[in-house]
Amino acid sequence: MIIRRLQIENLRNLSLVDIEPHPRLNYFYGANGAGKTSILEALVVLSRGRSFRTTQAGELIGPVKNTFRVYSSALNRNKQEQRLGLERSGKRWRGRKNGTDLSQLSQLTRVLPLVLMEPDSHLLISGPPEIRRKYLDWGLFHVEHGFLESWRRFSKALKQRNAALRRGQIDILDSLDSVLAEYGDTLGVMRRAHCDSISVNIEKILTELNAGLSDMSVGYSDGWPPGSYHKALVSGRERDLERQMTIYGPHRADLVLKCNRSPAKAILSRGEQKTLAAALLLTQAEILVRQGELPIILLDDLASEFDQKHFNDVLSRTLKIGGQIWLTGTDFKKMPTRHKVFHVEQGGVQEVL
């Protein structure tokens, strides 16, 4: 996907932004707090319906009115125009694609795949398993079309089982366990296959990023003991009834990252974690490209996260992927390829090169 025009209205300190980005590389620079990250945030909200900086949609609404809007005109891989829009006011949202109202925000995500690298990306290594599950599931959403339906069915069955556990409805647990196991097994197979694909492809990127990480391994933990998921549910039922929640399942799965056979988060420095996180994100972007998708890649404040050498390595490797890049920083920088430069100041955006 290549964005040709982006309009932002009343999002944080961006009262009105209307830009035509370069199809290859766009660099936004300005002082801290000027609104650079908010531009990337607007794209993330347009794609995913939520921000990567806050869980409260109300924090995104600027001072002008009680609604923010984001609109883009983009070209898909077949050079067809896609007009996407999102309007949000509190808990109410309205999404549109090519003039038609959408019933689900996932319809925007499908059209506008984004890979985001930002200052907290190291949490992909050191943070809780939920972050790594979201990373895997985002990739699966775009490469495995049956994933979303399986995930929804599993989530529905999990809620029903947890409700039955809280109410002590033992008589319906057998049927719920069968449904949960069916979709849980399906999710496990999909995630493990995606994890294997990441494992196969990440070594080359780590080398090109000069990561210096030896004997890296990428594995997957199902979220239940070895063997049948259904048997794990049955054997853990008494404990689940005591805790009134389902302990085993894909909702407890994890991406297992090891370096020299030790947990990566335990032995890698913060800088090494950032490099590994960059490699994981770029690997996933490349997998999408091989599936025929061309994700937009957002690099927020990359220069503050890496020294000059690693900055150059990450940007150079990102350029090889071939998608449209949106990069932010505090200082004017010379870029290595054709590009546009935008200066951001007090919520205003001006093209300067």
What are the boundaries of each domain within the chain? 1-113+294-353, 120-293
Task: Give the tens place of pLDDT for each residue, 239-256.
Answer: 999 999 999 999 999 999
Output the CA angle 147-184-198, nearest 5 degrees: 55
Look over the chain and give the mean of its residue pLDDT values, rounded to a whole number: 93
Query: Looking at the predicted structure, is the pLDDT value of residue 350 above 80?
Result: yes
Predicted confidence band at 134 (pLDDT cuts at 50, 70, 90)? Answer: very high
Query: Looking at the predicted structure, is the pLDDT value of residue 72 above 90?
Result: yes
Output the CA angle 37-50-324, nearest 5 degrees: 50
Query: Looking at the predicted structure, is the pLDDT value of residue 296 above 80?
Result: yes
Give the per-residue pLDDT at 212.
82
Distance CA 288, CA 299 (A): 17
List C-alpha distances in Å: 314 to 168, 285, 305, 307, 335. 53, 13, 11, 11, 13
CATH topology of domain 1-113+294-353: Rossmann fold (3.40.50)
List C-alpha distances in Å: 186 to 144, 181, 287. 12, 8, 21
Give the per-residue pLDDT at 91.
77
Task: Give the tens place of pLDDT for each residue, 11-28.
Answer: 999 999 999 999 999 999
- Residue 77 or residue 185, greater confidence: 185
Predicted confidence band at 63 (pLDDT cuts at 50, 70, 90)? Answer: confident
Architecture of the CATH domain 120-293: Up-down Bundle (1.20)
What average pLDDT does the segment 39-52 reach?
Answer: 92
Answer for the pair 21, 326: CB distance below 8 angstroms, yes or no: yes
Distance CA 188, CA 194 (A): 10
Instruction: Read off the pTM.
Output: 0.92
Distance CA 117, CA 283 (A): 12
Distance CA 348, CA 353 (A): 16
Counts for the chain of helices (H) and strands (E), in that order:
12, 15
What average pLDDT does the segment 58-76 reach?
Answer: 91
Q: Counting beta carbons within 10 angstroms of the beta carbon of residue 63, is it exposed (0 to 12), middle (13 to 18) or buried (19 or more)?
A: exposed
What average pLDDT does the segment 307-327 reach?
Answer: 92
> Do 120-293 and 1-113+294-353 have the same topology in CATH?
no
Q: What proportion of the chain, given as a percentage, has pLDDT over 70?
A: 100
Answer for the pair 311, 302: CB distance below 8 angstroms, yes or no: yes
Task: Give the tens place of pLDDT for each residue, 136-164.
Answer: 999 999 989 899 999 999 999 999 999 99
